[in-house]
A and B are shown apart, each in its own frame.
Chain A
Amino acid sequence: AQKVTQAQTEISVVEKEDVTLDCVYETRDTTYYLFWYKQPPSGELVFLIRRNSFDEQNEISGRYSWNFQKSTSSFNFTITASQVVDSAVYFCALSEPDQTGANNLFFGTGTRLTVIP
Chain B
Amino acid sequence: EPEVTQTPSHQVTQMGQEVILRCVPISNHLYFYWYRQILGQKVEFLVSFYNNEISEKSEIFDDQFSVERPDGSNFTLKIRSTKLEDSAMYFCASSRTRTGANIQYFGAGTRLSVL
A positions within 8 Å CB-CB of B: 31-33, 35, 37, 42-47, 50, 52, 91, 93, 95-97, 100-110
Instruction: Write the nearest CB–CB distance from B69 to chain A, whole angstroms.
Output: 18
Q: Are A50 and B101 in contact (CB-based, < 8 A)?
A: yes
Q: Are A33 and B100 in contact (CB-based, < 8 A)?
A: yes
Q: Are A104 and B98 in contact (CB-based, < 8 A)?
A: no
Main SS class of interface, A: loop
- The B64-110 residues at the A interface (CB cut-off 8 A) are 89, 91, 93, 98-109
Instruction: Write the nearest CB–CB distance from A97 to chain B, whole angstroms.
Output: 3
Q: Are B103 and A47 in contact (CB-based, < 8 A)?
A: yes
A residues less than 8 Å from B44 (CB atoms): 107
CA distance A43 to B39 in the complex (A): 11
List 5 A-B residue pairs with CB atoms under 8 Å apart, sorted by A's residue number. A47-B105, A96-B100, A100-B55, A107-B35, A109-B42
Interface size class of B (residues with CB under 8 A): 20 to 34
B14 at the A/B interface (Cβ < 8 Å)?
Answer: no
Instruction: Write the nearest CB–CB distance from A107 to chain B, whole angstroms.
Output: 4
Q: Given A43-B108, A44-B106, A44-B107, does the pair A101, B43 have CB atoms closer than 8 Å?
A: no
In this complex, the member of A50, A93, A101 whose beta carbon has the largest number of chain B beta carbons within 10 angstroms is A101
Instruction: Write the nearest CB–CB distance from A90 to chain B, whole angstroms.
Output: 12
Q: Given A43-B89, A102-B55, A102-B56, does the pair A108, B42 have CB atoms closer than 8 Å?
A: yes
B28 at the A/B interface (Cβ < 8 Å)?
Answer: no
Q: Are A106 and B45 in contact (CB-based, < 8 A)?
A: yes
A residues less than 8 Å from B100 (CB atoms): 31-33, 52, 95-97, 101, 103
